[in-house]
Amino acid sequence: MRGLRQVLGAGLAASVGFSAFAAALPKDGIPANLSNKLRADLLSVVANAEPGELIPVSIVMKDRATPEDLAFSGLIADKNARRRAVMDVLKGVARRSQAGVLSTLIEGQGRGEVGREYIHALWITNVIGARVTPGMALKLAAREDVDYLNWDRALPLEDVLPYEVSENQAQPLAVECGVDRMSAPRVWNELGITGRNAVIAVIDTGCCIDHPDLRNQIWTNPGEIANNDIDDDGNGYVDDVHGWSFDGNGSSENISDNFGHGTHVSGTVGGDGANGTQTGMAPDVQIMTTKFWNSFSGELSVWLCHQYALENGAHATTASLGWPHSVNPDRRTWREVVENSIQSGVIVIYAAGNEGCGNPPDNVRTPGDVPDVITVGATDCNDRIASFSSCGPVTWENIDPWRDCPHPPGCIKPTISAPGVDTTSCRHSPCNGYTNLSGTSMATPHVAGAVALILEAAPGLAHFEIKAILEQTAVDLGSPGNDNTFGYGRVDAYEAVVAAGGSEPQPGACCFDDGSCADLLLLECVNAGGNWNFGTECGTHSCPQPGACCVDDARCEIVLERDCNGSFAGEGTTCRGQCPCDKVKKFRAVCKDNRDIKVVVKFRDNSFDGQTITVMIDAQSFNLGVLDGKAKLFAGPFSGGNHTVALTRPACGLTTTVTCP
């Protein structure tokens, strides 16, 4: 890019004494205190690289904005003011902490230790991207202001984009079947809403912006004059008239699509049917094109796309991509990027992935696995789940600083579902006509288009409000309620727009965690912490009632079944006598004169009959059958002295000490 990054390079070009540490690896190997700061296989890459080899890395700074730093933004009603306030905080953190690392990198460029292409200094989270030698990687890792370095691994696009070419190729259609299934035509025809003034940033392989179905929906930067080689709006990007390309050689205004995926996705968001088939959910939306690396991609290029979208006014981002857990993505940075975007008011939508259901909790790709992201699974046009659609749950139990969604049970994903099988949309080569693709890549832009329709009806809504509307108005599929296959169900654009205020809003039954009900409008219900039910009233709708949930053998809590992370006893039940340990009446152990230990376990009823319990005597384990409400153990002989006897199954914390003569 011409602009900010070039200024940084020019301003710090003078060299100072450059440490030999950066020129080559230490002869005795990489010190342990540095190896811990090389993540995602970077330690192995550095150890095996040639001395002058340039390795793409993301340098993650220690000083980063926290959710607490940005919490104030939720109190700012004006969306533009909220966005500016969040950006000011994020840019301030980067500005005060990156100078030392940038100086080191620019000095390294002069000595061949850092790639001469642009150094990417991000602020959406506090990260700097560069290509560095192994020695420079260690020099950076040794800095106190650097948290860690991550290998910005380049993957073939086929590994990042969850899609496949359909065997059934495009046939002439009046309206693409997924668009019709999601009731978008009802929104256009009955409500007169087509996505006007909504700006959706498509993070993908670019776009054929001259396609007849897309040319009228391409976003134009109002502050930029085309082809004058000047950064007219001062945003750091020269001639970014319709978006920007964060390609492997820095950046450019060339957002053309050499791959086809981005054009297809854009057509599902906003194709207007000019060439014969109505492919788009929102035919009057504005599509901002943000292009990540075209032939292969690192994570950093997608983060840059998010940053561009945030700074240049996109209302939502949609990304039909994701990093499988098997390639060790930088999940912490991903979560910071998308959560910072959400905190600014941007709606963030991602594909779940095409890994199916076979490897929980690692089926859903990053960052679709971030709890707050609107993550999209794929159905066909008959509301059947696609066999490839990634299932939840997801977990973050080992990722600092959150350590949430412990598995089991984990957090439910996807959020919602949309059609993504044999989807007809715009073709990039030649740049006209249509082609059919399948994947959660194709489902995701259906949801983005639905979001554009909602935003025309209610432009003041931000991420969490949009997410709640999509969830509460979805057509429930699969298991009742939210599940790890369909999420809340398949999006219904018409009901979502109506709920957002696209016509005269109607109250619905709002169910609360205590089982009570109130007739409220959707956003009133969500803001009050309830669960909204479209088209119902409290007089005829039965809200779920809380009941006893045995979290483990000994602990019970009263919650709704959906919130029970254990065994649910049923609606309306109490904790009294529900959990296994409540049924233990007596636990007693004695050591006889012959040094045999006798253990007796008695239960309050016969509910344990036929089950096996476990008793530990010191380190020895004994399994006992239960009959007529009791179990007995005779074991020994044991040595003289004290012995610990414990009931370990059920795990009730019952322990006693016996003394043998």
- One DSSP character per residue, 446-475 reads HHHHHHHHHHHH-TT--HHHHHHHHHHHSB
Q: With beta carbons less than 8 A apart as the criterion, state whether 347 and 462 touch.
A: yes
50 contacts: CB under 8 Å, gap ≥ 6: none
136 contacts: CB under 8 Å, gap ≥ 6: 22, 105, 108, 113, 114
Pick the CATH number of 168-502 from 3.40.50.200, 3.40.50.2300, 1.20.1250.20, 1.20.140.10: 3.40.50.200
Q: What is the pLDDT of residue 125?
A: 98
DSSP 104-117: HHHHHHHTTSB-SS
Question: Residue 501 has what DSSP assignment?
Answer: I
Question: Residue 72 has what DSSP assignment?
Answer: G
434-438 sheet: strands from edge to edge? 164-165, 434-438, 423-426
Find the radius of gyration of the CA atoms of the chain: 29
Task: Name the nearest CA neighbour of 106 among 75, 128, 80.
Answer: 128
Measure the CA dihedral 178/182/188/191, to 10°: 180
| Residue ranges covered by each domain of the chain | 4-152, 168-502, 506-539, 545-578, 583-660
Q: Write the CA distances from 204 to 161, 170, 445, integer angstroms.
A: 9, 22, 11
Give me the residues paired with residue 623 across strands: 614
160 contacts: CB under 8 Å, gap ≥ 6: 297, 321, 322, 323
Q: What is the pLDDT of residue 566?
A: 84
The distance of Cα 45 from the centroid of its chain, to the nearest Å, equals 27
148 contacts: CB under 8 Å, gap ≥ 6: 36, 37, 38, 39, 60, 141
- Three-state DSSP at 366 gives strand
CATH topology of domain 583-660: Immunoglobulin-like (2.60.40)
Q: What is the pLDDT of residue 501?
A: 84
Q: With beta carbons less than 8 A apart as the criterion, state whether 614 and 624 touch.
A: yes
Q: What are phi and psi of 61, to 5 degrees?
A: -80, 155
The distance of Cα 385 from the centroid of its chain, to the nearest Å, equals 20
231 contacts: CB under 8 Å, gap ≥ 6: 2, 3, 237, 238
Q: What is the pLDDT of residue 392?
A: 98
Mean pLDDT of residues grouped by 10 in the chain (661 residues)? 32 30 57 88 94 95 95 89 97 98 97 91 97 96 97 84 69 87 98 98 97 98 94 93 81 86 98 96 98 77 97 98 95 98 97 97 98 98 98 96 92 98 95 95 99 96 92 93 96 95 80 94 83 86 94 94 86 94 96 96 95 96 96 96 97 96 95
Q: What is the pLDDT of residue 133?
A: 97
Q: With beta carbons less than 8 A apart as the criterion, state whether 568 and 556 touch.
A: no
218 contacts: CB under 8 Å, gap ≥ 6: 207, 209, 242, 286, 287, 289
Q: What is the pLDDT of residue 477?
A: 97
